[in-house]
Structure 1
Amino acid sequence: MSGFPPATPLRISTTLTEFDFDGVYRFLSQEAYWSKGLPREVFDRAVANSLCFGGFLGDVQVAFGRVITDRATFAYLADVFVLPAHRGQGYSKQLMDAVVAHPELQGLRRMVLVTGDAHGLYARYGFTELAAPDRYMERHQPSIYTSV
């Protein structure tokens, strides 16, 4: 199916020159439920202003995630995915291991994320439901990419 044995560990990189940003963009804009229709210029700006993590099998990128952060007190984890052909092999855990261990993300007061389907994964890394949801507010425009 994937062409790689299940035990193959991911090589995690934050070196942007190694990333297949065309492939990452294609997945996010066409397949991810949270970002369908994402314009390329918005994607490029988001990547430029984030700490990005790529998961590689050899030179092939099969996983991605990014963290929007001030690298001091706060971080927002976004756009985490493993390509469908490579799911079920523990790669999301390997990617998250690298995210939570990254030196620039240590000592943060708060890290948040939004997920529709991966609560179990993130709970392994200490994420919980909001302790005080009544304090959080949002300005949510879910169809912003598809209504233009």
Structure 2
Amino acid sequence: MHTSCQRGAYRIATDPACLDMAAVHAYLTRSYWSPGIAFERVQRAAANSLCFGLFHGVEQVGFARVVTDKTTFAYLADVYVLEAHRGQGLSKWLVQTILAHPELQGLRRFLLATADAHGLYAQFGFQPLAKPERMMQILQS
């Protein structure tokens, strides 16, 4: 189910055909969470996620993806808005749009990781893990 919503000159779309993967890669490769990531890895991650592209006209200026089974679990990843478009509430609108998406309703758990945007996500009910000692990971570069 592909959705699209408009706010002034900005649009959020979930149709993978609309995504500018070169633009997404250009940002992610310079982000703190995936510096130098290979284009093929970005493309494969997007192909296996529910993606949200943020557009100003035809230019992609933001992105987020949700890794999910669409029933019980979701993980929000790779969220960004280009620097030149920040300060307009676009990050909030992007997160609101993601949380309202019909395929992401009724989930038992919605996770994310952030180093610097705790305030943004707290506005939407995200909070530190109640029992972080239950979480485990395999971390590979």
**TM-score of the pair, normalised by structure 2:** 0.92
Q: Does the aligned pair in 1 maintain the 2:68–2:74 contact within 8 Å?
A: yes
**Residue equivalent to 2:85:** 86
**Residue equivalent to 1:4:** none
Report the Cα offset of residue 10 of structure 1.
2.6
Look up the equivalent residue of 2:10 and give its one-letter code: L
**Residue equivalent to 2:120:** 121
- 1:67-126 deviation per Cα after TM superposition (whole angstroms, max 9, x unaligned): 000001000000000011111111101101110000000000000000000000000111
Structure 1 distance, partners of 2:60, 2:82, is 9
Report the Cα offset of residue 133 of structure 1.
0.7
| Runs of 5+ unmatched residues, structure 1 | 1-6
> How large is the Cα RMSD of the aligned pairs?
1.2
Structure 1 distance, partners of 2:109, 2:9, is 29
The structure that has the greater radius of gyration is 1
Look up the equivalent residue of 1:11 and give its one-letter code: R
**Residue equivalent to 2:131:** 132
| Runs of 5+ unmatched residues, structure 2 | 1-6
Is 1:33 the counterpart of 2:1 in the alignment?
A: no
**Residue equivalent to 1:48:** 47
**Residue equivalent to 1:11:** 11
Structure 1 distance, partners of 2:18, 2:104, is 21
Is 1:107 the counterpart of 2:70 in the alignment?
A: no
Which structure would you say has the larger RCO, counting Cα contacts within 8 Å and 6 or more residues apart? 1
Report the Cα offset of residue 8 of structure 1.
3.8
Higher strand share: 2
Report the Cα offset of residue 61 of structure 1.
1.1
**Residue equivalent to 2:22:** 22
Q: Identity, % of aligned pairs?
A: 56
Report the Cα offset of residue 42 of structure 1.
1.1
